[in-house]
Amino acid sequence: MIYKTLLETIGNTPLIRIPFPTPATILAKLEYLNPGNSLKDRSALYMIEAAEKRGDLQPGGTIIDASSGNHGISVAMIGKAKGYKVIIVVSTKTSKEKLSALYAYGAEVVVCEPTPFIDDEKSYHNVSQKLAASLPNACYLNQYYNTENRDAHYKLLGPEIWSQTAGKVTHFFAGAGTGGTVSGVGRYLKEKNPATTICAVDALTSFRATKGNPKPYKIEGLGIDFTSEVLDYSVIDYFAEISDESAFDALRLLVKEYGLLVGPTSGAVIAACLEKLPTFTEKDTVVLIFGDSGRAYLSKNFYLQPDNPQDVFIPQHPQDQISL
């Protein structure tokens, strides 16, 4: 099949079986095979095109948003394809590989120090918001509070999973950062079958998990660190709170035993699934979201055994980061 544009290739990612030792069917949705290499292609395109329809994004305009990396890369890719200027605000937690991708797409990048709370005036969210307000013809996507983030997965990813499993999905696991994926897909699957179990995978030391007393963690793109309407608690059956160590152990298991080089949020999803593995039966079909590729994190050495250090090549970033 020949596509007219790059953007038409977003979605329709494969669902593959992982042969875990269980009578259940465990399926991984390989979202890193989207053209921007992550799940965020779907929601970024949906939000950008919604802004175009409303008239908030005009020809020659500038798209601005905060991101842990993947959303920003998707926005930069789509913005380039559509002819917009893109400015992405990230924290120093973002991997070198993600920063390199943002620069490669021609995005302007502003780098902020991490803050414990998203409403801190120096947080990358607040910096992006102020930047958007200060520039003419700028469109602020606001992925953390924009419910179109959730709607994208309700209208696109949810139906795709239902169709690919022929309606047999019984359990759904997804990492929760903004909450858009687990909420959108969860809502769709619950409408089709209210008995479907929806698990939101959270960081062990996130704002939600610690009841408002967050502590630093290493996983990018995971962790419910603020309160937003994007996250729909009504469709979530339970939260799995996963430590960095458990997520990284699962990453190493996936790549060494199954040949799947995926990102740390996928490791957290696998860790949550493994916790429930003894409870699954032959009647269960479990779908796991693998949101991005491990190639975006190689410089962080997550895939090495911590008790078996090796000499590894760590690529240097080709240009200095832009600090606000």
Pairing status of strand 285-290 against strand 238-242: unpaired
Catalytic-residue membership of 130 = no
Whether the CB-CB separation of 70 and 39 falls below 8 Å is answered with yes
Whether the CB-CB separation of 153 and 174 falls below 8 Å is answered with no
Whether the CB-CB separation of 269 and 175 falls below 8 Å is answered with yes
Own/partner contacts of 119-124, CB < 8 Å, gap of 24 or more, are 119/226, 123/66, 124/66, 124/67, 124/89, 124/90, 124/91
Burial profile 51-78: b = 16 or more Cβ within 10 angstroms, e = fewer: bbeeeebeeebbbbbbbbbbbbbbbbbb
Contacts of 154 (CB under 8 A, 6+ apart): 183, 184, 185, 187, 188
- 252 SS3 class: helix
d(CA 172, CA 201): 10
- Estimate the crossing angle of helix 40-54 against helix 70-82, to 10 degrees: 50
Count other C-beta atoms under 10 Å from residue 116's C-beta.
12
- For residue 38, what are the β-bridge partners? 292
Q: How far is CA 60 from CA 88, 135, 301, in A?
A: 17, 13, 40
Q: Give me the torsion for CA of 124, 128, 130, 132, rounded to 10°.
A: 180
Q: 29, 40, 98, 276: which one is catalytic? A: 40
Pairing status of strand 285-290 against strand 25-30: parallel
Active-site positions read: 40
